[in-house]
C-alpha cells in the first residue's frame, strides 16, 4: 500500500490579479498515519493552502496528487470530498437550522459506505465520542462554542476520511475542549491509519504533531520531523 | 436525505418568517386575482361560446358589444323567419334590470324547449311559463334576489305583476340570476318595446353556412351576422375580457415568480457560508439547490392554496356586498384550480432559478469566508 496520501508540487495561488501570492510554489508530501502541523503567522497562506488542497479554491499553478490520483481524474468532487477528505474549520460552521445530530448526519447522507439504517446510529455514536450525546437534539445556537466545535469534529470524521484538513480546530475553544479535540484526533490517526493536516497557532497542536510544516509569506520553509 | 432537505427548508422558512409570510401574501394575492378573473371571464366566454355552438348562426345589431347592447328590429326578425335557407330562427331578448341592489336579467325567448335544451335549463319547482301569459320562471339565484317563490307574483321594470310559475337551474351560470319569460312579454318590459337582442338560427344545409351568411349580410346590412364558431372571438366584450385575462394572467405569473425569486435570492445570499459548508462536506450542488427548491415550492404551494381558498369567500362577498350589475358566480371551475396548481408549480420552479445560478457559480472558498 502506498504510504503517500498527498503529494503537492509547486502549488501556487495568487490574489489581486496575480499581484499577491497567497500560496507561492509550495511543495509537500503527507504520509498515512501522521499528524502534520502547518504553522505560521496569520495571513501567511495556511487557510488558502488547505482550501487549494481540498479543491475549495482554484490553484494558479502546480500539481496535487491524492493517494496517487490527479485532480483531473476525479469524476465527482462532492463524492471525493465525502469519502477522502474531511474538513474542520476554525469556527464550527454548523448548519444553524439542523440539530447537532442532523449536522453530523448531513455528512453521512450521501455516503455510500454507510448503510442507511446505520446512519442515525452512527451519528449518535460519533456525538457520544465527543461527549455530546445528551445534546444531540439541540440546535447549534443553543450550545456553547466548545460543544459546537466538538459537533463539527464529529461531522468531519463521520465518513472516516483518509485526509482531514483542519483549520485552527482549537482556535476558538477553551483548553479543556482543545485537549479533548486533540486526543480524538490522535486516536483517529493511530487507530485508523489516517492523516490530518492542521493549520494552527496552538503550541498544544504542534506538540502532538508528527511533523511541523512552517509557512511564511505563502512559502514553506524546511519541514521538521519530530523524533 | 429527503427528510434533512425538507427539515432544513422548513426551518429556514421559519427562521425568515416575516419575509416568508410577505412572499406568501404577495403570491397568494396574485393567485386570488387570477382565480377571480378566470372565474368571471371564464363564465362569460366559455359558457356562452359553448351554449351558442348548438346554432349555426348568431345575429346581433351592428356596433353592439354584447347581447345587452344589441337591438334588432322585430320586423327584421319576422323577415328572417321567412328566409328559405334558414330553419329554427329563435329570438332572445336580454334586458338588464335590478332588484334589491342586485343585478337581474330578464330574458325573453321565442322557443323555450330549444332554448332550455341549449342552455341546460332544469326545472326545479313548479312548471314552465305558458306562452302568451303573464308568467315567468326564475333562476335559483334569482330566488334570493327577488325574495319570492313559486305561485307569488312580482312586478319588474315598472311593468304589470307577473306570476312565478317555476324555478330552474342552468349550467350557464348567468341564467341562474335571470328571469325567463315569453319573448313577447320580455319585449313589453324592454325600454324600447320593439327590439330584441339576438337571433340564433340554423341553416338547412350546414355545409353552406358561409354562403348563407353572405346572402344574409347583403340582405340585412344593419345586422352583424356571424358563424357561431367565431362568435367568441368576434364579440368585442368577450374578446376584450379574454385578452385582459390573458394579459393579467401573465402579469400575475411574472409578479408572483419575481416575488419568490427575489425573496429566495436574498435568503440564498444570506446563506452563502452555509452553502459553502455543505459543498465542503460533500453535498452535491444539485442537492443544495433542492433545499431552495423545496422552500420555493412550500412558499408557492402555500400561497396558491391560500389564494384559492380565499377566492370563494371573496366572490361571495362581491356578490353580496356590492351592487354590481355584472353577474359574479359563486363557484370556482375545476379548470381554474388546475391552472392555479400549474401556476404554483411554475412559480416554485421559477423562484429557484436565481439561487441555482448563484449556487452553481459559487467559489466554495469565497463562500466560506463570506460574512
- Does residue A197 belong to any structural domain of this protein? yes
- How far is A50 from B145, CA to CA, in rounded Å? 79
Query: CA-nearest residue of chain A to B5?
Result: A106
**Model confidence at A227, in pLDDT bands (50, 70, 90)?**
very low
Q: What is the pLDDT of residue B311?
A: 85
- Does residue A27 belong to any structural domain of this protein? no
pLDDT at A182 over 60: yes
- Does residue A52 belong to any structural domain of this protein? no
- Does residue A8 belong to any structural domain of this protein? no
The nearest CA of chain A is from the CA of B303 a distance in Å of 23
ipTM of the complex: 0.86
Question: Does the distance separating the beta carbons of A79 and B4 come in below 8 Å?
Answer: no
**CB < 8 Å to A159, chain B:** 282
Selected residues 267-286 of chain B with any CB under 8 Å from a CB in chain A: 273-274, 276-285
Domain shared by B330 and B251, yes or no: yes
- Does residue B201 belong to any structural domain of this protein? yes
Pick the more confident residue, B229 or B330. B229
Stretch B199-210: mean pLDDT: 86
Q: How many independent structural domains does chain A possess?
A: 1
Stretch A122-145: mean pLDDT: 88
Domain shared by B72 and B40, yes or no: no
Domain shared by B278 and B153, yes or no: no
Question: Does the distance separating the beta carbons of B4 and A106 come in below 8 Å?
Answer: yes
The nearest CA of chain A is from the CA of B351 a distance in Å of 21
Eight-class DSSP state of A139: B
pLDDT at B200 over 70: yes
Query: CA-nearest residue of chain B to A158?
Result: B281
**Model confidence at A52, in pLDDT bands (50, 70, 90)?**
very high
Stretch B277-304: mean pLDDT: 90
Taking each helix axis as running N to C, give the angle between helix B2-15 and helix A100-108, from 0 to 180 degrees, rounded to the nearest 10.
140
Domain with B34, as residue range(s), is 2-45+239-369
- Does residue A136 belong to any structural domain of this protein? yes
Which own/partner pairs from B4-10 qualify as long-range (CB within 8 Å, at least 24 positions apart)? B4/A98, B4/A102, B4/A105, B4/A106, B4/A109, B5/B287, B5/B290, B5/B291, B5/B294, B6/B294, B7/A97, B7/A98, B7/A102, B8/A95, B8/A97, B8/A98, B8/B291, B9/B291, B9/B292, B9/B294, B9/B295, B9/B298, B10/B298
Last residue of a domain, one of B190, B221, B252: B221
- The overall average pLDDT reported for chain A is 87
Domain shared by B248 and B216, yes or no: no
The dihedral built from the CA positions of residue B177, B182, B183 and B188, taken in this order, carries a sign that is negative
- Does residue A67 belong to any structural domain of this protein? no
Domain shared by B194 and B314, yes or no: no
Domain shared by B268 and B317, yes or no: yes
Domain shared by B67 and B189, yes or no: yes
**Model confidence at B241, in pLDDT bands (50, 70, 90)?**
low
Contact B104, B146 (CB under 8 A): yes
Q: What is the pLDDT of residue A178?
A: 87
Of B1, B277, B363, the CB nearest to A95: B277
Domain shared by B73 and B100, yes or no: yes
Q: What is the pLDDT of residue B327?
A: 53
Q: What is the pLDDT of residue B325?
A: 44
**CB < 8 Å to A161, chain B:** none
pLDDT at A194 over 90: yes
Last residue of a domain, one of B221, B250, B280: B221
Q: What is the pLDDT of residue B282?
A: 86
pLDDT in tens, B55-86: 888 898 887 766 667 889 888 999 999 988 88
Domain shared by B270 and B363, yes or no: yes
Q: What is the pLDDT of residue A117?
A: 73
Domain shared by B196 and B161, yes or no: yes
Pick the more confident residue, B119 or B140. B140
- The overall average pLDDT reported for chain B is 83
Query: CA-nearest residue of chain B to A153?
Result: B281
- Does residue A159 belong to any structural domain of this protein? yes
**CB < 8 Å to A57, chain B:** 363-365
Domain with A179, as residue range(s), is 33-47+76-225
Chain A interface, best mutation among B281, B286, B368, by max A CB count within 10 A: B281
Last residue of a domain, one of B167, B190, B221: B221
Of A78, A95, A96, the CB nearest to B284: A78
Chain A CB within 8 Å of residue B83 CB: no
pLDDT at B108 over 90: yes
Stretch A20-41: mean pLDDT: 92
Q: How many independent structural domains does chain B possess?
A: 2
Q: What is the CATH number of the domain that holds A98?
A: 3.40.50.300
Alpha helices in A63-138 (DSSP H): 77-83, 100-108, 116-129
Amino acid at each position: 500500500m502506498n504510504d503517500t496520501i498527498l503529494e503537492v508540487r509547486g502549488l501556487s495561488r495568487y490574489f489581486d490579479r496575480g499581484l499577491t501570492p497567497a500560496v507561492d510554489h509550495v511543495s509537500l508530501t503527507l504520509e498515512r498515519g501522521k499528524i502534520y502541523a502547518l504553522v505560521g503567522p496569520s495571513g501567511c497562506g495556511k487557510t488558502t493552502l488547505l482550501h487549494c488542497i481540498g479543491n475549495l479554491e482554484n490553484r494558479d499553478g502546480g500539481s496535487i496528487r491524492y493517494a496517487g490520483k490527479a485532480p483531473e481524474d476525479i469524476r465527482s468532487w462532492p463524492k471525493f470530498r465525502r469519502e477522502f477528505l474531511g474538513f474542520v474549520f476554525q469556527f464550527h460552521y454548523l448548519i444553524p437550522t439542523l440539530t447537532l445530530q442532523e449536522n453530523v448526519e448531513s455528512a453521512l447522507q450521501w455516503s455510500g459506505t454507510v448503510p442507511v439504517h446505520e446512519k442515525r446510529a452512527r451519528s449518535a455514536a460519533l456525538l457520544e465520542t465527543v461527549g455530546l450525546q445528551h445534546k444531540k437534539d439541540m440546535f447549534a445556537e443553543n450550545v456553547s462554542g466548545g460543544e459546537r466545535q466538538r459537533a463539527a469534529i464529529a461531522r468531519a470524521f463521520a465518513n472516516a476520511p483518509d485526509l482531514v484538513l483542519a483549520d485552527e480546530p482549537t482556535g476558538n475553544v477553551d483548553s479543556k475542549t482543545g485537549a479533548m479535540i486533540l486526543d480524538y484526533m490522535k486516536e483517529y490517526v493511530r487507530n485508523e491509519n489516517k492523516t490530518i493536516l492542521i493549520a494552527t497557532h496552538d503550541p498544544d497542536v504542534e506538540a502532538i504533531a508528527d511533523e511541523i510544516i512552517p509557512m511564511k509569506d505563502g512559502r514553506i520553509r524546511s519541514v521538521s520531523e519530530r523524533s | 436525505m429527503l427528510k434533512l432537505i425538507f427539515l432544513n427548508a422548513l426551518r429556514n422558512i421559519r427562521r425568515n418568517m416575516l419575509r416568508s409570510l410577505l412572499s406568501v401574501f404577495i403570491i397568494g394575492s396574485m393567485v386570488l386575482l387570477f382565480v377571480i378573473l378566470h372565474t368571471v371571464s371564464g363564465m362569460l366566454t366559455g359558457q356562452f361560446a359553448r351554449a351558442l355552438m348548438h346554432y349555426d348562426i348568431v345575429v346581433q345589431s351592428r356596433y353592439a358589444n354584447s347581447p345587452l347592447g344589441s337591438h334588432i328590429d322585430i320586423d327584421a326578425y319576422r323577415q328572417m323567419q321567412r328566409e328559405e335557407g334558414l330553419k329554427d330562427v329563435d329570438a332572445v331578448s336580454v334586458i338588464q334590470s335590478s332588484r334589491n341592489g342586485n343585478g337581474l336579467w330578464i330574458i325573453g325567448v321565442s322557443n323555450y324547449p330549444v332554448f332550455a335544451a341549449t342552455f341546460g335549463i332544469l326545472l326545479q319547482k313548479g312548471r314552465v311559463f305558458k306562452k302568451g301569459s303573464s308568467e315567468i320562471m326564475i333562476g335559483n339565484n334569482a330566488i334570493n334576489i327577488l325574495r319570492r317563490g313559486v305561485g307569488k307574483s312580482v312586478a319588474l321594470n315598472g311593468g304589470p305583476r307577473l306570476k312565478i310559475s317555476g324555478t330552474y337551474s342552468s349550467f350557464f351560470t348567468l341564467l341562474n340570476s335571470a328571469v325567463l319569460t315569453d319573448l313577447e312579454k320580455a319585449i313589453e318590459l324592454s325600454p324600447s318595446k320593439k327590439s330584441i337582442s339576438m337571433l340564433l338560427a340554423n341553416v338547412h344545409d350546414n355545409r353552406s353556412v358561409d354562403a348563407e351568411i353572405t346572402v344574409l349580410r347583403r340582405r340585412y346590412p344593419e345586422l352583424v351576422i356571424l358563424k357561431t364558431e367565431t362568435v367568441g372571438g368576434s364579440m368585442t366584450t368577450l374578446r376584450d375580457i379574454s385578452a385582459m385575462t390573458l394579459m393579467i394572467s401573465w402579469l400575475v405569473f411574472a409578479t408572483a415568480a419575481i416575488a419568490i425569486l427575489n425573496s429566495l435570492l436574498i435568503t440564498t445570499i444570506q446563506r452563502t457560508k452555509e452553502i459553502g459548508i455543505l459543498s465542503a462536506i460533500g453535498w452535491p450542488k444539485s442537492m443544495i439547490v433542492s433545499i431552495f427548491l423545496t422552500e420555493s415550492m412550500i412558499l408557492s404551494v402555500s400561497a396558491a392554496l391560500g389564494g384559492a381558498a380565499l377566492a370563494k369567500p371573496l366572490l361571495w362577498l362581491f356578490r353580496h356586498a356590492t351592487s354590481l350589475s355584472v353577474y359574479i358566480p359563486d363557484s370556482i371551475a375545476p379548470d381554474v384550480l388546475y391552472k392555479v396548481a400549474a401556476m404554483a408549480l411554475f412559480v416554485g420552479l421559477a423562484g429557484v432559478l436565481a439561487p441555482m445560478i448563484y449556487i452553481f457559480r459559487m467559489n466554495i472558498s469565497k463562500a466560506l469566508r463570506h460574512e
